Structure 1
């Protein structure tokens, strides 16, 4: 179990740093339905991560490493594909063309001179969201957004590489989901813990994420692209 959990720690942290669920939940927490919509978006985000990971593990059919300790060829091929796709996403992000909002409307362009930028349409209409819509949005942002989807597939693939039981893999996936939920979960905790005093903190967090989203995601995608491609080339050439 320890090996499987060790494989997904970095992926969980990477997904937790995704800007748009954090920005989205901060916006939800400024609406009249904050007490229900904020947690609903967080729940949807967690469900999306769990759904993608579960599908990948089920498709893998419990295929672990070979007798020689090498992962199955399909796992290495998947890592290579994911690495190339993440490299492509990193280039798009670095060039300012990332479209990673998920769930309706892409990412806003990078802000200029520290100013706020126009937000996607769904972010401008959060006042009208119901808890069900917030739940669906959170699920879409984690399960359908290209960057998060690729990282979740890569995390589940890393779990599948290990020679562990189905129960241990499920625990590792649960740890990944918990880590991935820390990003959007932090504003929710601050809101309920500090109430009105949290507004200034959440506004600053939202602005910071808007300003640095492109750089954060470009670096994350580049690092994981190098890791996945390196693993795949090493395994396939062994």
Structure 2
């Protein structure tokens, strides 16, 4: 199980270091319905992560087994494809970074976050985690690692739980901190939001590039 955990940890971090959902969570925590909407968003975010990783783990288990114990060409090919996709996403992020003093462009739906209800917060969290292309690629890579790891059902549940906990941590921590001390957290959350808005594209480009290269290396090593 240790080997599988080692493979899924960077992928879980790839989901966790996602500036857009963190910014969305902070905006909700600074809104009039902070507690209910923030908790709803966190619930949806976690649910989306679980749905994605479980789905890809089940799909991976359904793949035909490779003939050789020392070589896994099917998993290797999938990893190579996922790694290339991540590098292409990194290039897209880098090209889209703001230049000079230009203000970073954020999704238009963020302007309506103040009006979200708890139910809509759940839906937004679910959509951002389960349908985000980058998160799906990370979940697919983790699912392949779990399916190829030769671990039993109990160990699979533990690995999925660890993946989910790490992937959800960066959204969960601001929500939990705000619930514990809302008055003291307002200024730190606003400072964090401003930094994430400014550095969003660069952070994502570097992250996707590194994980993409690692995944390509894993894919090559599977042949």
The reply to whether TM is greater than 0.5 is yes
Listed as ranges, the matches of 1:55-134 within 5 Å are 55-61=55-61, 69-70=69-70, 72-96=72-96, 110=98, 113=101, 117=104, 119-134=106-121
Structure-1 separation of matches of 2:105 and 2:89: 22
Match of 2:145 in 1: 158
Match of 2:182 in 1: 195
> Per the alignment, in what secondary structure is the counterpart of residue 222 of structure 2?
helix
Listed as ranges, the matches of 1:156-235 within 5 Å are 156-235=143-222
Match of 1:101 in 2: none
Match of 1:4 in 2: 4
Contact in 2 for aligned 1:65/1:161 (Cα 8 Å): no
The runs of 5 or more residues in structure 2 that have no matched partner are none
Moved over 3 A (4+): 62-72, 109-113, 115-119
TM-score by length of 1: 0.86
Q: 1:126 to 1:78 in 2, by over 3 A?
A: same
Q: Deviations over 1:153-192 (max 9, x none)?
A: 1122222221111221121011101001111112112211
Structure-2 separation of matches of 1:131 and 1:70: 50
Structure-2 separation of matches of 1:31 and 1:71: 53
Cα offset, 1:90, TM superposition: 0.7
Q: 1:233 to 1:117 in 2, by over 3 A?
A: closer
Structure-2 separation of matches of 1:129 and 1:111: 32
TM-score by length of 2: 0.91
Q: 1:233 to 1:24 in 2, by over 3 A?
A: same
> Per the alignment, in what secondary structure is the counterpart of residue 125 of structure 1?
helix
Structure-2 separation of matches of 1:95 and 1:118: 13
Q: Does 1:30 align with 2:30?
A: yes
C-alpha RMSD over aligned residues: 2.1
The runs of 5 or more residues in structure 1 that have no matched partner are 97-108
More displaced stretch, 218-227 vs 200-209: 218-227
